Amino acid sequence: MHPATDSFDKLSNRLQAAFIRLAKDEHLWSGDLYSALRNVTTTLAEVLEVGRASVWRMSPDRQELVCQLLFRTDRQGFESGASLPAAQFPHYFGVLDEERLLDVPDAANDQRVQERYPGHLRPLGIGACLEATLHEAGQLAGVLCLEHLGSPRLWSRDEQLLAISVADLLSQLQVFHTLKDRERSYRSIFDAAGDAILTIVDGLIADCNPQAQLMLGRPRAELIGKPVTDFSPDIQGDGRRSDDKAEGLLQAAIDVGPQQYEWTHRRADGSRIETEVSLSAIWLAGRCQVTAIVRDVTERRLAEQIRQTSAELLKQRNLALQVVLNLASQLHRSSDSEAIADETLRVLQLLQRAPLSLFHLADEDGEHFEVIASTGYTPAQIAARRRMPIERSLSGQALALGQILHCTNVEDDERIDPAIRERSLIDGIHSFTVLPLVYQDKQLGVIGLQFYDCGNEFSDAELEILRAVSQTVSLALANARSVQALEFQATHDSLTGLPNRTQLHRDATESLRWIAGSPRQLALMLLDLDRFKEVNDTLGHRTGDQLLKLVATRLQAAIEREDAMLARLGGDEFAILLRSVTDADQAQNIARSIVAALRTPIEVEGIFIELGASIGVAVYPQHGGTSHALLRCADVAMYAAKGNASSVSLYDNSHDAHNPRRLAMITELGSAIRSEQLVLHYQPRYSLQEGRWCSCEALVRWQHPKLGFIPPGEFVQFAETSELIRPLTLWVARTAVRQLALWQQTGLCISTSINLSTRNLLDITLPEALAELLREYGLQPGSLELEITETALMTDPDRAMQTIERLAELGMRLSIDDFGTGYSSLAYLKRMPLHALKIDRSFVRDMLHDDQDAIIVRSTIGLAHSLGLQVVAEGVEDPATLSRLREYGCDEAQGYVLSKPMAHAAALRVMQAPLPIQTG
């Protein structure tokens, strides 16, 4: 190849790889917009070798462009906030409205940017720029600006295409994050609203906020799906029946408009609540949703009664209630239990006359209270009360009953634990009151108010305030725990409880900041288990999951003496962060000790399994300055370790060049689909009951011009994790359908099947695309069968079900592939419009020699037939198995004993000939 052409191809590939890396980066969508823009601008500055990369956003009044983020390579830092007023640069704004891309090779002499050159481009030394516009709803929404410092620069076509592609990606990111922010804002308003809010669809409660649950004294599960009248007395205050009145008001909100009225509700304990209700209706997706905002006016009416009795008492009470409301506002913004406790006790000191107070949380074992905050106590007194028993205590009783309890005389109250009584009397405490902290049957803790005198009693108004405090604090604690639980779920693996990829990057980034400038180094290892897939395929996913848990425990033990963090990235892939090592040799020695620890057999359900591992090691700073760069290098090193069978490999930049297949698959798959490098092989299926060839499965292969034959297991995974899965699936479908049409013209009466992935099932446009394809070639919809794995179905069952139901409505047949190896339930099988189940080859292979496999095969056939489904056995490799399947009533078979996958001409010859073996 000519050197110039070679250089051009390398640049093209590098630009394409950069865009693919950006498009596949899940953090662009899962993180915040600022982080996404940092990623995009730094990546573009690096790959295009420009001095400045920035994203500008059109202001709401469309009078100026405002810099969202600018990355400067000279400072390796970010800036924002600069603006370009439209009034000052009218010609430039006009050009942006008319041109998709401003390719400016010479900024000093290009009329399109002359307005900006004297005051902006020339002072900054910008010799050339490449600007791609962002659009939203058909209007100019912003600009992606790439500025080259120094001499003029001629922008290549690939660089221009990259700028346009990234601008389109940024347009999608801006819209996505705007919608996400609006959704989060709406939900926060809904959840934090001071009034109860109910959404009603078809007369039933469809959603409710926490205040509604608090007001009605019922958990969410008891409210959803019920009519409002279930939580109302039979007769309202005006004498009308609740059922009749509610039905009329809901219909009026739909037909006439918003409605306002008074309503009496009933709490779970039977007490009544007087409320004011506002109804409004809106149509969403063809259904009418009525929103009810319910304000509890019981307190207001009580306040009116109190006003008649004592204006001063009313003033004090309203002040106290305002303090409680302020408390609620403060607590709902906190997710820290200790901060909630401190603020609560501070407010209680303003409201109550108790000189001493304790805030207890129930510990995980449910047997003791832990003190997390106090007022008035000395450290020694707190130490004596640090851990208090729940059982046989007044606090425990208050918690169990969910009611405020009083002890008017500590010395005579038998409910008091003797040790607590003794300590209280020593400290001069003679009475106390306990506020329970309970939320939706969860016993969270108690607040204790202690008094030096006996006989302490509260007025009804004071008790009401204390109940409000108790309920407010309980809700805040429950919310804090929910936030903490969600944070844990978002940053930890659900199977092993280990940190996940997100937490790994957070921890690594923090460690890099801490270690910067010190002589110590940081290492990141990527570990992949050897032979784990064999365990999964042989013993099943349940055993595989148990093994992964035991491996996690073994790995934790192997690094317990190191300053390290273990994370699970998915499947059988783990990462180990060594926060401080002396050099790369130490990191490799630790890796070798980990491999040695894994070589000792692990017992799983009575079976001893011996595993190996391949570990790639990358070290900061020589292999990268960020966690993402180190993880990528560790990934390359791990593949090198697999390739040279050394178990442990330190990253070497030459490793990247030694793995051309992987790089080619990532960067060249899209062009392979377009340039017809892919081919289909077909494996026929035989009807055991009808004695004829009835179908064939289309299987994709890649004939790479340089790397040779690449099996699907090596490249389909990359398509499934990117947007390439849709064009790949449509290419397979078109090729298979076209071939089927040619076969049917020869008189061969069969159908064909293709495989769908997880992302295909989440693609709502796929059914119509396949239907149009069948119409194009004049085939009946039933000629095409779509095979779905159980794992793909379980990823998002509800959304997948919509796609599946639409495919069935259009007449296409559906089957479950590899049945028995996933986690699907009979409930989903019953709901789905399936045509067939394909029994996985792992059961069929040994059914003649393994009684359990035989039982599974026979039971699956019976189950499928009882559900009206056909059964296809995969992986049939001998005539005896074929005969036994026929005896069991299996409908169809597929496997090497019948035919291996082959090109279309060879497959046709097989299916036109009779079966060369007997099936029984």
23-to-28, 58, 162, 395, 671 alpha-carbon distances in Å: 8, 23, 12, 56, 16
Confidence tier at 643 by pLDDT (50, 70, 90): low
* More confidently predicted of 920 and 717: 717
pLDDT at residue 549 greater than cutoff 50 = yes
Confidence tier at 253 by pLDDT (50, 70, 90): confident
Confidence tier at 329 by pLDDT (50, 70, 90): low
Query: For residues 432-466, b (16+ Cβ closer than 10 Å) or e, as one string?
Result: bbbbbbbbeeebbbbbbbbbeeeebebeebbebbb
Continuous segment of H or E residues that includes residue 360: strand 356-362
Provide the token pair at 403.
């009611």
The answer to whether 458 and 466 are in contact (CB under 8 A) is: yes
Q: What is the structure's pLDDT at 901?
A: 92
The C-alpha angle 209, 216, 403, rounded to 5 degrees, equals 115
Q: DSSP string covering 750-766, please?
A: -EEEEEE-HHHHT-TTH
Q: Is it true that 3-186 and 193-296 share their CATH fold?
A: yes
Conformational region of residue 203, where left means phi above 0, alpha means psi within -120 to 50, and beta covers everything else = left
Q: What is the structure's pLDDT at 659?
A: 52
Instruction: Give the domain ranges of the chain.
Output: 3-186, 193-296, 311-488, 501-653, 664-912
CA separation for the pair 146, 133 (Å, rounded): 12
241-to-200, 229, 230, 618 alpha-carbon distances in Å: 19, 10, 12, 74
Give 664-912's CATH code, choosing from 3.90.870.10, 3.20.20.450, 3.40.109.10, 3.10.450.710.
3.20.20.450
Most confident of 200-209, 449-458, 605-614, 770-779: 770-779
Strands 784-789 and 813-819: parallel
Q: What is the structure's pLDDT at 559?
A: 92
Cis preceding-peptide flag for 833 (omega within 30 of 0): no
What's the average model confidence in pLDDT over 748-766? 88
Most confident of 372-376, 808-812, 911-915: 808-812
Confidence tier at 784 by pLDDT (50, 70, 90): very high
CA separation for the pair 790, 797 (Å, rounded): 10
Q: What is the structure's pLDDT at 657?
A: 47
Q: What is the structure's pLDDT at 322?
A: 59
What's the average model confidence in pLDDT over 340-351? 71
What's the average model confidence in pLDDT over 315-337? 57
CA separation for the pair 284, 306 (Å, rounded): 45
* More confidently predicted of 344 and 434: 434
Q: What is the structure's pLDDT at 730?
A: 93
Give 311-488's CATH code, choosing from 3.30.230.70, 3.40.50.300, 3.30.450.40, 2.40.50.140.
3.30.450.40
Provide the token pair at 365.
């074992």
CA separation for the pair 875, 887 (Å, rounded): 17
Q: What is the structure's pLDDT at 556?
A: 93
Q: What is the structure's pLDDT at 723?
A: 72
* Residue 886: count of CB within 10 angstroms of its CB: 18
Q: What is the structure's pLDDT at 885?
A: 93
Longest pairwise C-alpha distance within the chain = 103
The type of residue at 106 is: D
CA separation for the pair 251, 264 (Å, rounded): 19
Which residues are within 8 A (CB) of 239 and not within 5 positions of it... i.e. 6 or more apart?
none
First to last CA, the chain: 61
Q: Which of 102-106, 377-381, 605-609 has the lowest mean pLDDT?
A: 377-381
- Residue reference for tokens 């922010």: 181
Q: What is the structure's pLDDT at 199?
A: 87
Q: What is the structure's pLDDT at 511?
A: 92
Q: What is the structure's pLDDT at 6?
A: 45
Compute and round to an integer the Cα radius of gyration of the chain: 35
CATH architecture of the domain 3-186 equals 2-Layer Sandwich (3.30)
Q: What is the structure's pLDDT at 67?
A: 94
Write down the mean pLDDT value for the chain: 82
Q: For 484-490, which contacts have Cβ atoms below 8 Å and span 24 or more sequence positions?
A: 484/335
Write out pLDDT tens, residues 296-310.
Answer: 887 777 766 666 654
What's the average model confidence in pLDDT over 375-404? 74
Q: Which phi and psi angles does 368 have, rounded to 5°?
A: -135, 155
Burial of 139 (0-12, 13-18, 19+ CB in 10 A): exposed
Q: 155: which DSSP letter?
A: P
pTM as predicted? 0.38
Task: Give helix then strand counts, H and E, for the chain.
Answer: 33, 34
CATH class of 501-653: alpha beta
Q: DSSP string covering 79-137, please?
A: E---EEETTT-HHHHHHHHH-SEEEES-GGG-GGGTTTIIIIITTTTEEEEEEEEEEET
pLDDT at residue 313 greater than cutoff 60 = no
pLDDT at residue 907 greater than cutoff 90 = yes
CATH class of 193-296: alpha beta
Q: Which residue, 355, 324, 358, is CA-closest to 342?
A: 358
Provide the token pair at 164.
């346009």
**Alpha-carbon dihedral 542, 544, 550, 552, rounded to 10 degrees:** -120
Q: DSSP string covering 419-455, please?
A: HHHHHHHHTT--EEEEEEEEETTEEEEEEEEEESSS-
263-to-206, 233, 246 alpha-carbon distances in Å: 20, 10, 9
Q: 235: which DSSP letter?
A: B
Write out pLDDT tens, residues 663-716.
Answer: 566 678 888 888 878 999 999 999 998 889 999 999 999 888 877 777 786 677
Q: Which residue, 470, 395, 481, 406, is CA-closest to 438?
A: 470
The answer to whether 775 and 810 are in contact (CB under 8 A) is: no
Write out pLDDT tens, residues 21-77.
Answer: 776 767 677 778 888 888 889 989 998 999 999 999 998 888 999 999 999 999 899
Q: Which phi and psi angles does 601 have, rounded to 5°?
A: -55, 145
Q: DSSP string covering 457-499, please?
A: ---HHHHHHHHHHHHHHHHHHHHHHHHHHHHHHHHB-TTT--B
Provide the token pair at 111.
């009329």
